[in-house]
Amino acid sequence: MTVRWRRRTFDAAGLTEYPAGPALSRLAGEQKVYVTTPGYDNIGEILTSMGVEFEPFRGEFDCNLLFVNCGTADRVDPRALAEYVRGGGCVYASDHEDALISEAFPGVFDFAGHHGSRCQLTADVLDPELRGIIGERITIEFDMGIWATMRDGRAEVLLRSPQGPIMVYAEHGEGSIFFTSFHNKAQLSDHEKQLLQLLVAKQFSTTTHQSLEQTSRALGLSLDAIRRGIAH
């Protein structure tokens, strides 16, 4: 099933009420999204907030984007995942899925164990596209401890906290990998939700070869509203 877009109501700052015209239709028609079952994370809620429809992951990799929730009960084969990305797929994984990512892509990420503490961190925004939208720094709350920590490796750091990288990106073959220690949680602030929406948009931008701003607008995100919300 391809990604489809439907009319939606205002339920969060940064979302438009209607899909954003023909660019959205082209983007929707080209992409197919799978999501694993929720665990400690439920990225499907973020996709739903953006009007993105997706299929549950059932062990197949015939999709453009695969989202792997932290602590999912689904079995994701690391060899098949590596082949999927090598052939042009895009995978997003979070927090305790560091073991899967490390096995599938050895030497790409330098994970440092589950040593993160429950805290509020101010992270530097290193990715130029994200920085142009949300500014140089963003505050993120980790409401649970023992989250996955990282050291600098071969991956590009998108967000860096005093405890090290918390959001990274790497290319592998024709595809790409996004990993974040930060993920969807029960009490998600507006700006954290907007950050995850932007990260989703950035993944779509890598598969459609558009800029983050172009893709965000095609996905119906109001960048001006996001800028205002994060500024406050």
Report the mean per-residue pLDDT for the chain.
Answer: 83
Sequence-separated (6 or more) residues with CB below 8 Å from residue 232: none
Rounded CA separation 11/133 (Å): 20
Count of the separate structural domains present in the chain: 1
Q: Whole domain around residue 158: which residue ranges?
A: 22-231
Give per-residue pLDDT as tens, 179-196: 999 877 655 777 788 888
Name which of 231, 180, 227 is nearest 40 in CA terms: 180
Query: What pTM was estimated for this model as a whole?
Result: 0.84
> Do the domain assignments include residue 223?
yes
Q: What confidence score (pLDDT) does residue 30 get? A: 67
> Do the domain assignments include residue 142?
yes
Q: What confidence score (pLDDT) does residue 19 get? A: 39
> Do the domain assignments include residue 11?
no
> Do the domain assignments include residue 13?
no
81: domain CATH number is 3.40.50.880
The long-range contacts involving 18-27, CB below 8 angstroms and separated by at least 24 positions, are 18/220, 19/51, 19/220, 20/217, 20/218, 20/219, 20/220, 23/214, 23/217, 23/218, 24/218, 24/219, 24/220, 26/218, 27/3, 27/204, 27/208, 27/215, 27/218, 27/219
> Do the domain assignments include residue 226?
yes
